[in-house]
Amino acid sequence: MTAEKTVTGCAECAGLQTTEWGALAKSELEAIDKCRRVITREPGEILFSQGEKGNGVYCIKSGLIGLRRVDINGNSVLIRLVSAGFTVGYRTFLTGQAHINSAETLTSSTLCYVPRPMVEQLLKANPLLGERFLQHFYNDTIDTENDYVRSLTMGMKSRFLHLILVFYERFGYQDENGNAVVDLPVKKGEIAELVGVRPESISRLIDQLQNDEVLRIKDRRVEFTDVDRVLQQAGATV
């Protein structure tokens, strides 16, 4: 279910300077305020679908968005996670092509939606905004290449632990006993997709890590039993 919310203007947004929109002048931010919609989405809702023309962009205020691609055989794969402070849907404005991925909310999320006419107007009026989006595009490409190299050079255990560390960096905290903990924002099957293995392989790996007292995992809660060993094994091959 989708709902609209009222929040502060773009100029007062805490994440402004970490996004492409930090390149805009105050008057341009005020123009966005007049046309943007602030929406909330629940897990499983679709922001845009693969093959659709982009009708606008979404700036993520909170939550987690998954980018998913379907191949010619109909296989759907979760290929990237995007969290607060990032914009999704911008590539179609740079390439003039339809979305190559679908975007869906994986957790309850709040987003600012900026419609296509405003995005096009701003790109024409402020070249720096386009440069910022191009830099974002470049960074995404580097991340994709790094993921590919990791899949070739690192074993399943290392890739899994690397992903858990990424989740901890974004969503982790210390519990009442001072233990490093993260509540996983995605399901086990989605973790398998991101690691590039079958779900049953992830289940066996989790059992192994718990038996080795590297991690304790219950449902989606992960507690780091031995942080040093997690860091070491995340950078090793198996």
Tens place of pLDDT per residue across the chain (238 aa):
454 444 578 999 888 888 899 999 999 999 999 999 999 999 999 999 999 998 999 999 999 999 999 888 888 888 889 999 899 999 998 888 999 999 999 999 999 999 999 999 999 999 999 999 999 999 988 988 888 888 778 889 999 998 999 899 888 998 888 889 999 988 888 899 888 888 899 999 999 999 988 899 888 899 998 888 888 888 744 4
Domain boundaries, the chain: 3-151, 154-234
At the top level of CATH, the class of 3-151 is: mainly beta
- Answer yes or no: same fold for 3-151 and 154-234: no
Q: Which residues lie closer than 8 Å to 53 by C-beta, 6 or more apart? A: 92, 98, 99
pTM here is: 0.81
Bridge partner residues of 69 (DSSP): 77
Q: How far is CA 237 from CA 63, 85, 104, 164, 168, in A?
A: 32, 32, 32, 16, 21
Q: What is the CATH number of domain 154-234?
A: 1.10.10.10
Distance CA 220, CA 23 (A): 38
